[in-house]
Amino acid sequence: MTSLTRPAPWTGRRRPVPWARLAWVSWRQRRVALITVAILLAALSLYLLIMGLRIHSAYAGVSSCHPASSTPCQILRFNFTVTYYQRFGAPMFDNIGKPNGISALLLAVPVLLGVFAGAPLLARELETGTFRFAWTQGCGRLRWALAQLALPAIALTAAAGGFSALFSWYLRPFAALFAQGIGKGAMQPTEFPLHGVAFPAWTLAAFAIGAFAGVTIRRTAPAIAAAMAAWAGLALATAVFLRAHYEAPLRTSGGAPHQSPARLNNAWVLSSWTTGPGGRQVSPTRLNSLVPPSVVNSNQANAFPDWMTLHHYTQWWSYQPESRYGHFQLIEGGWLLALSVVLIAATVWMIRRRTW
């Protein structure tokens, strides 16, 4: 007589899925978003490359013209400024507040890339419930979260870094104009985030904010809206309040109101004020009431500064010099990287500890 025996239950642990397969699955799931990002950056890069070659070629004729002070060279430089700088290299806003230059478009690239890639990344999985299937296939919460976040974060940061290098090359001919006091340099709030390590750092920060919002809210559309609002608030607070205090501003005196000294070319001017004979600050209204009409209506360019010097009035300027550009880039890139790491770590922690 024979009897069937029940097999002993398997007590071993399931072998975890290799990281290579997790990366392949992450690529399969995110390939549409990554390819879309690649197409967007490729289109912008192609435009910068084509226009950059034209701008570099045109400026080669300007730089090779000698003597630079001659009338033909001045005309050539003026035509280059009007044709290329005002259309393709000007700051984000002109004197009347109208959007101007490609910088206006590029300022939105980091938030669009980062948020639209980061917010739906985990929010869609949590919203539809497909994460439960992944967690039962030899892929725990920690490995699943890292596999979902690592590849897009690295790809976005690398692509943004390459794009930033291309944009810096594109603007290189205009750097000579900045050095001569034409236009504004890269220290300006609307230009600084588009260069160096700041651009990929802001892109990574947008991605981390989007991923954190997706895990917190667990709904794709609200997470995108919340992440965009958070990124915009952070960027505005940095440009208006934080960046100006990376290092103590320098002060200089001279000139007249609304006429900064030549040493402030390419510098980021933070504020200006006037002090009277006693060293106390004088308001612009009070100063204008003290200036005689003969000085106001004078045709001499130095009439106002000479009057201020004669009556012991001094114009002061607070500014960040262009020489601090590289240091500021490292500071901003460093704290944005730290913020991104903290947000990604918080996202992974919530996935591991939260009850879903």
DSSP state of 8: P
pLDDT category, 155, cuts 50, 70, 90?
Answer: confident
DSSP state of 220: H
Q: What is the pLDDT of residues 20-75, one digit of tens each?
A: 666 666 667 667 777 887 888 888 889 889 988 998 888 888 888 888 788 888 88
Helix (H) or strand (E) holding 200: helix 198-217
pTM metric for this prediction? 0.80
- Higher pLDDT among residues 150 and 2, named by residue: 150
pLDDT at position 97 is 39
**List of residues 6+ apart from 67 with CB closer than 8 A:** 73
Burial, 296: exposed, middle or buried (Cβ in 10 Å; 0-12, 13-18, 19+)? exposed
pLDDT at 261 over 50: yes
Number of H helices, E strands in the chain: 13, 4
89 Cα distance to chain centroid: 16
Asked if omega into 120 is within 30° of 0 (cis), the reply is no
pLDDT category, 134, cuts 50, 70, 90?
Answer: low
pLDDT at position 207 is 94
DSSP string, 304-355: HHHHHHHTT-EEEEEEE-GGGHHHHHHHHHHHHHHHHHHHHHHHHHHHHHS-
User: How confident is the model over 313-325, as a mean pLDDT?
Assistant: 88
The CB density around residue 320, as the number of other CB atoms within 10 Å, is 21
Q: What is the pLDDT of residues 213-228, one digit of tens each?
A: 999 998 888 999 999 9
